[in-house]
Amino acid sequence: MKILKKAIVFVFIIGFLFSSYIGYCYFMKKPVPFFGRKITGAYYSIGTSVSKNPLEWNVNEAEVFNREVNDIAKNRLMADPFLHNHNGKWYAFFEIMNGKHADVGVAIEENGNWKYLGIALDESVHLSYPFMFEKNGISYMIPETKRHEQVRLYKTDNFPFDWKVDKILIKNERLVDATLFEKNNVSYMFATKNDELKLYYSDSLYGDWKEHPSSPLRKENYTRSAGRVFQEDGKTIRFAQDHFGGYGRAVYGFSIDSISKTYYKESSLPNNPILKNQGDSWTKNGMHHIDIHKLPNGTYKAIYDGYGYGVEKITFSFSNNF
């Protein structure tokens, strides 16, 4: 009898500790052991819209990329979109994947609709997150090339095609979602490695890139960049993917309160998440990327992706389906 009582007490204590740990993980938005989320039959699509507030978006009003008109199969993934204005016209660069191989696709906006132009960059490795920017009148691209173990800077003489490597910014690192921005005449770059948010800095785009002394800035959630850093009126905001409960759940914003070559501090925005799944729509399973640009009339144009048209199932997993 004493052995049975001890066994019952032991089981009760173990159960209490385990349930407490599950509760702690849940409320702290850490991976919850055994519980995860898996989507079947779903795929990412992209859409654009305009808003008066750069941090408020009604994705149900978005102009969603028309696959039928552009002859793109409905199950072909389109994600990580970036806008780029070239000679007065808007272009969208994005990951486009068929099966296991992903390239960088490009489209042009004509009369409010997107026309797919084809593959802008194709390599032997997986490509995604084609970060686009312009500096000194030159258009650049930094796509994810983790399998090259490099962060590569590309440019072209035949926009929007024929991109070539201009410089290798970081070598011998398997980094994803490299996101460049400048602050106080210093170039910074966020990138992710194994669920750690890394920060690098340089005196110029073509300078020597070094890892920041505060790097890694974060571990686990909110470590993968979710688009271009937004800068306006003294505000600098980085967008991050929320992976709580599974990949690509939502987009959160973090104010970069202070940054230098030796210091970094950020805080979560009060109106988070910036983007999330909305109803039974093309974003019903989640969102994980946004790129915002200010228009001449003071409004904001954004492009984002959504994970929809699939079935959400709760699964059991040691890794939480990250």
Residue 304 neighbours by CB under 8 Å, 6+ apart:
46, 47, 48, 57, 59, 62, 81, 227, 251, 275, 287, 289, 290, 291
Q: Where are the domains of the chain?
A: 1-30, 37-317
**CA nearest neighbour of 282 among 37, 40, 44, 39:** 44
Task: Give the pLDDT of residue 37.
Answer: 55
Lowest mean pLDDT among 24-33, 171-180, 284-293: 24-33
Q: What is the pLDDT of residues 37-86, one digit of tens each?
A: 555 556 789 999 999 999 999 998 899 999 999 999 877 899 999 999 99
- CATH fold for domain 37-317: Tachylectin-2; Chain A (2.115.10)
Model-wide pTM > 0.95: no
- Asked if residues 146 and 176 have their Cβ atoms less than 8 Å apart, the reply is yes
